[in-house]
A and B are shown apart, each in its own frame.
Chain A
Amino acid sequence: MSSINVKLRVWRQAGPDVAGKLVDYALTTDSHASFLEMLDQLNRELVNKGEDAIEFDSDCREGICGMCGLVINGVAHGPSDTTTCQLHMRSYKEGDTIAIEPWQATAFPVIKDLVVDRSSFDRIQAAGGYVSVGTGSAPDANAIPIGKAVANEAMDYAQCIGCGACVAACPNASASLFVGAKISQLALMPQGQVERKERALGMVEQMDKEGFGPCSNHGECEAVCPKSIPIKVIANMKREWLKASLT
């Protein structure tokens, strides 16, 4: 156990339609604390003082659910290799200043403080990110022949947890990595073939409708993605969209 003093600058915003700003807090915490535990600790101090707790999202706290997500010192999920919940205070030095902001995108409106509304992702998913073939009960392992390499690649893309870090990190607030991952994953699998065209067109159309920006190939999304999804999926999405548009 070793304690560490940090200076926090946290985005406080009372509601969706009011302006937010960074508010400074000083905190002594433990270097073994996770980033979210550190925020829990700060909240306890705030509540004990009779102040409003800082709202932030979290759920599994083991890097698999996609619920947590903060822009820390300008980087989505901060210096964590995966999600914000997997970041620990040992990544920081005594006296460090840490700025904490919510995902900022028109399609992810801030609900309060660090919590944003990501239901735009759900609507994109509903616009084609599914298979509607009757899958019945679990088939025998070898009933659907899929090569190992293809299965691996589809699994790599299926790892997307929809956290939205790609949008947060993109200078254009584009959702291309998210949508690309979904389209690429299902395009590789036999189950995804039936609705392949409708999926590409529908998800891209919904992505545009939600107000996400265009992709300028900056590649920041790939760098912050907790599941290391490559921008190759964006190129895949473009091919899928073009093929579907031309036929």
Chain B
Amino acid sequence: MASLAQALGSTIGRKYVMAITGLIWAGFLVSHLTANLLLLASDDGAAFNTYAYSLMSLGPLLWVAEGFLAATFLIHVYNAVKITMEKRAARTSRYQVTANAGGPSRKTIASMSMIYTGGLLFVFMILHLKGFKFGTEYTTTVDGTEMRDLYRLVVETYQDPIKVGVYLVMMVVLGLHLRHAVWSAFQSLGVSNQKYLALAEKGGYAFALLVALGFFLIPLAIFLGVGQ
């Protein structure tokens, strides 16, 4: 039996880590998107702010959750960089002519650009946290409870066409990343049952489309004043 460090540092171990941390983040995206749908509730943000308030009221539990997400994110990024370095070292002399073999190949723009879409998402995450989590602290009162008015911050942010534009482009990037990521994670985890893998493949594409589209439509709706 190899040591844990050796196992996690092998090419297969790295992919297990990528798959698990990636799927954790895919799960987070679902909860994030679900919560964001509250932005469209036409209640001046009462539901959205109340939900955010309930999360913030968790105190230490929230820090644990945030720490867990941050750790899995950074582990994902670290392994992505290592994998990219390993694959570049594995072929130093490049082909003069390249083509896709077609047929059963899953090679796409999405699969070939994971490190770039991932890098863009990393930068976006920092800006996203800076703009919202660490953004302007407005306050509001819902049912007699004073709480942070995140809704106002979101609505104000998405009046700026440049910010909306950047956000929309980034959601296409997210969709591309997820298109290869989700089914690929199941393959990396060793799902060899062909029925389940086919399901993971179709499900993964649908997941990528739905999540990216959901995140895409919300700021667009706010910008266009739909559901306000």
Contact = CB atoms under 8 A, between A and B. Distances in A.
Interface size class of A (residues with CB under 8 A): 35 or more
A204 interface: yes
Given A107-B90, A214-B11, A218-B112, A224 B83 contact: no
Contacts of A223: 101-105
Contacts of B189: 238
Contacts of B12: 204, 214-215, 237-238, 241-242
B8 to A, nearest CB: 9
A220 B2 contact: no
Interface string A212-247: 111111111011100000111011111101101101
A224 B101 contact: yes
Interface residues of B, number: 46
A151 B106 CA distance: 28
Interface in B71-127: 83, 86-87, 89-107, 111-112, 114
A214 B90 CA distance: 9
Contacts of A236: 190, 192
Interface string A169-182: 10111100000000
Contacts, number: 146
B11 A211 contact: no
A208 B89 CA distance: 12
Nearest to A212: B90
A207 B101 contact: no
Contacts of A232: 192, 194, 197
Contacts of B83: 214, 216
Contact of A172 (B16, B90, B93, B191): B90
Contact of A173 (B14, B15, B87, B103): B87
Given A205-B10, A235-B190, A245-B7, A71 B95 contact: yes
Interface string B166-199: 0000000000000010011001111110100100
Given A222-B104, A237-B12, A216 B190 contact: no
B90 to A, nearest CB: 3
B129 interface: no
A216 B87 contact: yes
B1 interface: yes
A11 B96 CA distance: 9
A104 B93 contact: yes
Given A222-B105, A236-B190, A101 B11 contact: no
A105 interface: yes
Interface of A: 9, 11, 20, 22, 71, 73-76, 99, 101, 104-107, 110, 169, 171-174, 201, 204-205, 207-208, 211-220, 222-224, 230-232, 234-239, 241-242, 244-245, 247
Nearest to A108: B91
A206 to B, nearest CB: 11
A104 B95 contact: yes
B91 A106 contact: yes
A36 to B, nearest CB: 19
Nearest to A219: B106
Given A104-B91, A215-B15, A219-B107, A22 B96 contact: yes
30 contacts: A20-B93, A73-B99, A75-B99, A99-B97, A101-B95, A106-B89, A173-B87, A173-B90, A204-B12, A205-B10, A211-B89, A211-B90, A213-B11, A216-B83, A216-B184, A217-B111, A217-B184, A218-B105, A218-B106, A218-B107, A219-B106, A219-B107, A220-B105, A223-B101, A239-B192, A241-B10, A242-B16, A244-B1, A245-B1, A245-B7
